[in-house]
């Protein structure tokens, strides 16, 4: 039995997220189906492919990582080619490598980086419409950076978790929250050791509130201390979010 590590990029527009669900087609389902002709189980079912994170419906990935245990003799490169032949064009396996037995893409992940794109120009390019959120206006990027600095470190991020989530341990460490102002666009990049459900989208919505002058940069410590979803800003739409990378 071999353990393979996959790096997967996908346009999440057509999917309910990475993880297999009953209410629609997932990226995991597509990758597992592509594996079936190569490494079906004795009962004919596809091997289970475990992702490093779920990703929301409509969100994207440049560097999702997955692990799978299979009994095949093909080297990694032919496995990669065989999967991509069978996958739809909005999902690509960009790398395959052998890992030590027991490697688990989710449990062994040390951290992730996410990117949220906000187009602030009056008119949004049609080529960005599926990968960025359009929020035209002028934003104070300096104020957003001051607010972002208060989010770095180990905190209780309950205020940024979707209400009703079953997760009870809401302590996470953020290594970086960077706000970059480009031509007609604001990009927020967040890296940390773990993320709560919709956390990055809520962080982005809160920082955008700061940039618009709807809340002060100095309010962030109070938002964290409240441990109440109502204290933070809105959860921005999923299509502006991309999982950039996972590290181990």
Q: Where are the domains of the chain?
A: 2-99, 111-247
Residues designated as active site: 56
**CB distance 93 to 44 below 8 Å:** no
2-99 and 111-247: identical CATH topology: yes
pLDDT at 238: 98
**CB distance 65 to 52 below 8 Å:** yes
* Nearest-10 crossing angle of helices 141-149, 199-211: 130
Question: What DSSP designation does 136 have?
Answer: -
CA distance 191 to 172: 11
Cβ-based burial of 35 (10 A; exposed 0-12, middle 13-18, buried ≥19)? buried
Query: Which residues make Cβ contacts (< 8 Å) with residue 42, sequence separation at least 6?
Result: none
Q: What is the CATH number of domain 111-247?
A: 3.30.70.660
CA distance 64 to 52: 7
Per-residue pLDDT of the chain (248 residues; tens, 9 = 90+): 899 999 999 999 999 999 998 889 999 999 999 999 998 788 888 999 999 999 999 999 999 999 999 999 999 999 999 999 999 999 999 999 999 999 999 999 999 999 999 999 999 999 999 999 999 999 999 999 999 999 999 999 999 999 877 888 999 999 999 999 999 999 999 999 999 999 999 999 999 999 999 999 999 999 999 999 999 999 999 999 999 999 99
Q: What is the CATH number of domain 2-99?
A: 3.30.70.580
**CB distance 57 to 24 below 8 Å:** yes
């Amino acid at each position: 039995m071999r353990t393979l590590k996959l790096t997967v990029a996908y346009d999440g527009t057509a999917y309910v997220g990475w993880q297999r669900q009953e209410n629609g087609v997932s990226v995991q389902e597509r990758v597992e189906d592509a594996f079936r002709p190569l490494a079906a189980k004795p009962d004919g079912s596809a091997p289970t492919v475990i992702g490093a994170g779920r990703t929301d419906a409509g969100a994207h990935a440049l560097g999702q990582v997955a692990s799978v245990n299979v009994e095949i003799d093909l080297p990694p490169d032919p496995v990669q080619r065989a999967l991509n032949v069978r996958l739809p064009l909005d999902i690509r396996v960009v790398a395959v490598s052998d890992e030590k037995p027991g490697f688990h893409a989710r449990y062994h992940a040390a951290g992730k980086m996410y990117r949220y794109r906000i187009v602030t120009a009056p008119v949004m390019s049609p080529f960005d419409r599926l990968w960025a959120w359009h929020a035209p206006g002028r934003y104070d990027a300096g104020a957003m950076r001051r607010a972002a600095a208060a989010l770095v470190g180990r905190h209780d991020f309950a205020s940024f978790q979707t209400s009703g989530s079953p997760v009870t341990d809401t302590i996470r460490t953020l290594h970086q929250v960077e706000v970059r102002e480009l031509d007609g666009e604001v990009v927020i990049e967040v890296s940390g050791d773990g993320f709560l459900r919709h956390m990055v989208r809520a962080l982005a919505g809160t920082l955008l509130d700061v940039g618009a002058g709807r809340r002060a940069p100095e309010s962030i410590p109070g938002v964290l201390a409240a441990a109440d979803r109502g204290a933070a800003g809105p959860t921005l739409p999923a299509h502006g979010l991309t999982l950039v990378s996972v590290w181990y």
